[in-house]
Amino acid sequence: MGNRFRYKLDKRCRYYTAGTIVLTIAIFAVLCFSTVSGYLPAWFLSIALALIALCMLSIPRFVRTTSEAVEIHCLVEITVIPVEEIRSVRPVTQQELRRIYLLLGAYGFFGYFGYYLDLNNWDIVKVYASSWNYNQLVMIEDIYEQRYLISATQPAELCASIEKRRLAHRSRESQAI
């Protein structure tokens, strides 16, 4: 069994989520009262609910570190990063966060997740975060140069747990040889 690190939404995410839901309801109400037919409000509601459902499927719930992998559990999907493929784990600095922008995903609606563009390195970063506070973010880079930005309420403990698993895996490999 491994360590489990839960996500906790920050205030900004809660405000963005509530604002998005209120704005969707307000637009739907305006469309209902301003149009004669029911087609436009129905199409808007269908598309809005589909986009909200797609976002909700990717909401990160927790990160688990096991002896074999780092698992990022979302509502429906699990992203697994094998320990032997992790090159580096480190906390994120404030300067790194300033030039990371959303490409495809969510920015504040139930968290920050999806594909983000890092203009410092001209690279794509997969983000699974519940807070955009650099004190709570950890960058994981694998041997394929894929980078993952994840948040944790205890980032130092998460980094230490992943490093411990990496060292244990390396020692098992060296003993097998």
pLDDT band of residue 1 (cuts 50, 70, 90) is: low
Q: How far apart are CA 124 and CA 146, in angstroms?
A: 8
- Give the whole-angstrom CA distance, residue 110 versus residue 149: 16
Tokens found for residue 37: 């037919």
Any idea where the domains of the chain sit in the sequence?
1-177
Confidence of residue 118 (pLDDT cuts 50, 70, 90): very high
Cα–Cα distance between 116 and 135 in angstroms, integer?
A: 19
pLDDT of residue 172: 83
- For 105, the token pair is 């995903």
State both tokens at 48. 């809005």
Quickly count: other Cβ atoms within 10 Å of residue 79's Cβ.
17
The model's pTM is: 0.84
- Residue 88 scores a pLDDT above 60: yes
pLDDT band, very low/low/confident/very high, at 52 (cuts 50, 70, 90): confident
Q: How confident is the model at residue 177 (pLDDT cuts 50, 70, 90)?
A: low
Q: Which helix (H) or strand (E) holds 65?
A: strand 60-65
The answer, yes or no, to whether residue 2 has pLDDT greater than 80, is: no
| Rounded-to-integer distance, Cα 125 and Cα 56, Å | 20
The contacts of residue 53 (CB under 8 Å, 6+ apart) are: none
Ramachandran angles phi, psi of 152, nearest 5° = -155, 150
Instruction: Give the residue among 125, 127, 92 at the shortest CA–CA distance from 113.
Output: 127
